[in-house]
Amino acid sequence: LRQSDPVVKVMLPNGQTGWLISTYEDAAAVLKDPRFIKDMTKFVGQEHPSVFSKNMLFSDPPDHKRLRGLVQKGFTPQRIESMRDHIQEIADRLLDAVSGKDRLNLIDDYAFPLPIIVISEILGVPTEDQDKFRVWSNSIIEASNQKMGEDVTRHMNEFIAYLKEWFAKVREQPGDDMISELVIAENQGDRLTEEELYGVVTLMIIAGHETTVNLIGNGVLALLEYPEQRKLLQDRPELIQGAVEEMLRYNGPVEFSTSRWASEDLEFRGQLFQRGDLVIVALDAANRDPAQFEDPDLFDITRGKSPHLAFGKGIHLCLGAPLARLEGEIAVNTLLRRFPDFALEGEIGDLEWRPGMIVRGVKEIP
Ligand code: HEM
């Protein structure tokens, strides 16, 4: 596709038609181009399709800047670096719980709970409720794939009820956490509407649940696929930063960007887009483009600085990137150090991948 039809009209699994962009150069260009916008309500003439979607990821300037600005200070590299020791403790605690056993499920026992505990603490929601959040965030992702079954609707209603109760509690007694800061911003009227409060908190929960788990999972799979790279990292743990960048490039957790829309009739790489056309960027395809990366299908943790698009680009560049990187570095190195001989039960090719278009990861790694 990258060679024959780099900008191509396709039918997506959810039945919509849209333009799919697959080369690195075009992907980076679309992500930076202000003619491609995120707020589709301008075209379909309706309210946001879900109570959860009024957030920075689905907004354009100036709303985008305001919404991103409200949570940005919680994610600066300095703020995240200050969490290093605590994240290390969480990783060790999770591995303590399985040491002595001869089998672990890397996803359920480690890759999933680690980022959930961290994001729950940042937001100030009880870590004990993590199982509920897992079900709800899965349902919201399914809803975004247009699979609105009975369960999905019920879960979304339960989630709204939970947040409503939580916000009421926080309004009475704000704490030193991100939801309290957002509720205070909501009280200040013009900074955040109630709908935006739901949207921003939900985005943080979903982003915290559905992404880093797959950085850790897909990263460990790459190490299992390339034993000599695993050995190199085991011998030289200081290579971990480059290793995580390569994991993000080689097996990125977010396969496609979220939807963008052409804001006007326009020409892009010789194709005519009409106002309102849907545009999707294949991030993982761009990250394996031979025009940008030498030997792109090879997993090589010594590539050095990588301009991969795993976190997107432009104004929507992932806000959680410094946190995800730190979590990935600590999780992978701690696993290699504590369980140096870990091995996959079964074959990589038999692992089951999660369905859906945006998030890429396996269901279990035994
Ligand atoms: C945006 C990837 C972890 C919060 C994005 C985008 C990508 C991405 C590709 C842009 C999507 C687009 O432009 O269509 C990832 C990956 C992660 C990760 C690969 C883990 C390895 C996180 C975490 C958080 C987070 C842990 C926060 C807790 C966000 C937010 C946005 C975003 C708030 C929207 C930014 C904006 O619109 O300005 N992420 N993400 N992400 N991510 Fe992440």
Q: Is residue 117 assigned to a domain?
A: yes
Position 172 scores a pLDDT of 92
Q: Average pLDDT in the 236-249 region?
A: 98
Q: Is residue 163 assigned to a domain?
A: yes
Pairwise CA distance, residues 141 & 98, whole Å: 30
Radius of gyration in angstroms for the set of CA atoms belonging to the chain, rounded to a whole number: 21
Whether the Cβ atoms of residue 121 and residue 172 lie closer than 8 Å to each other: no
Q: Is residue 2 assigned to a domain?
A: no
Whether the Cβ atoms of residue 121 and residue 208 lie closer than 8 Å to each other: no
Pairwise CA distance, residues 267 & 124, whole Å: 46
pLDDT band at 145 (very low <50, low <70, confident <90, very high): low
Question: What CATH number is attached to the domain comprising 161?
Answer: 1.10.630.10
- Kindly report the protein residue whose alpha carbon is nearest to atom 41 of ligand 1: 320
Q: Is residue 151 assigned to a domain?
A: yes
pLDDT band at 194 (very low <50, low <70, confident <90, very high): confident
Say how many domains are in the chain: 1
Position 50 scores a pLDDT of 66
How many C-beta atoms lie closer than 10 Å to residue 314's C-beta?
13
- Has residue 72 got a pLDDT over 70? yes
Q: Is residue 232 assigned to a domain?
A: yes
- List the single range of 126-130, 270-274, 312-316, 358-362 with lowest mean pLDDT: 126-130
CA distances from 207 to 5, 34, 153, 339 (A): 31, 23, 20, 28
Share of the chain above pLDDT 70, in %: 95
Q: Is residue 125 assigned to a domain?
A: yes
Q: How far apart are the CA of 300 and the centre of ligand 1, in A?
A: 24
The residue written with tokens 């056993």 in the block is 101
- Kindly report the protein residue whose alpha carbon is nearest to atom 7 of ligand 1: 311
- Kindly report the protein residue whose alpha carbon is nearest to atom 18 of ligand 1: 211
- Has residue 177 got a pLDDT over 80? yes
- What count of Cα atoms within 13 Å lies in the side-chain half-sphere of residue 31? 27
The tokens describing 333, both together, are 């190195």
Position 147 scores a pLDDT of 61
Question: Which amino acid type is present at position 11?
Answer: M
What is the ipTM for the molecules in this complex? Answer: 0.99
Q: How far apart are the CA of 244 and the centre of ligand 1, in A?
A: 16
Q: Average pLDDT in the 186-201 region?
A: 81
pLDDT band at 189 (very low <50, low <70, confident <90, very high): low
Pairwise CA distance, residues 71 & 27, whole Å: 27
Long-range contacts of 303-308, Cβ-Cβ distance < 8 Å, separation of 24 or more? 303/242, 303/245, 303/246, 303/249, 304/242, 305/245, 306/242, 306/245, 306/246, 306/248, 306/249, 308/245, 308/248, 308/249, 308/252
Q: Is residue 270 assigned to a domain?
A: no
* 19 DSSP β-pair partners: 9, 279
Residues with CB under 6 A from ligand 1: 56-57, 68, 119, 203-204, 207-208, 211-212, 215, 252-254, 257-258, 283, 310-312, 316, 318-320, 323-324
Q: Average pLDDT in the 168-189 region?
A: 86
Report helix angle 212-225 to 321-338, nearest 10. Answer: 40
- Has residue 205 got a pLDDT over 70? yes
- Atom number, ligand 1, closest to the C-alpha of residue 214: 21
Q: How far apart are the CA of 341 and the centre of ligand 1, in A?
A: 32
Question: Which amino acid type is present at position 310?
Answer: A
Q: Where are the alpha helices (DSSP H) in 211-290?
A: 212-225, 227-235, 240-250, 283-286
- Kindly report the protein residue whose alpha carbon is nearest to atom 38 of ligand 1: 316
pLDDT in tens, 42-64: 766 555 556 677 899 999 999 99
pLDDT in tens, 311-353: 999 999 999 999 999 999 999 999 999 999 999 999 999 999 9
pLDDT in tens, 11-47: 877 677 899 999 999 999 999 999 999 987 776 655 5
Q: Is residue 1 assigned to a domain?
A: no
Which residues lie below 8 Å from residue 66, measured CB to CB, with a gap of 6+? Answer: 191
- Atom number, ligand 1, closest to the C-alpha of residue 254: 19
Q: Average pLDDT in the 250-273 region?
A: 95
Pairwise CA distance, residues 334 & 90, whole Å: 11
Position 218 scores a pLDDT of 98
Q: How far apart are the CA of 207 and the centre of ligand 1, in A?
A: 6
Q: How far apart are the CA of 211 and the centre of ligand 1, in A?
A: 8
Nearest residue to 219 (alpha-carbon basis) of 186, 188, 195, 242: 242
What is the average pLDDT score of the chain?
91
Position 262 scores a pLDDT of 95
Q: How far apart are the CA of 316 and the centre of ligand 1, in A?
A: 8
Supply the range of the domain harboring residue 188.
49-251+311-350
Q: How far apart are the CA of 259 and the centre of ligand 1, in A?
A: 14
- List the single range of 49-63, 92-106, 114-128, 166-180 with lowest mean pLDDT: 49-63
**Phi then psi dihedrals of residue 186, to 5 deg:** -65, -40
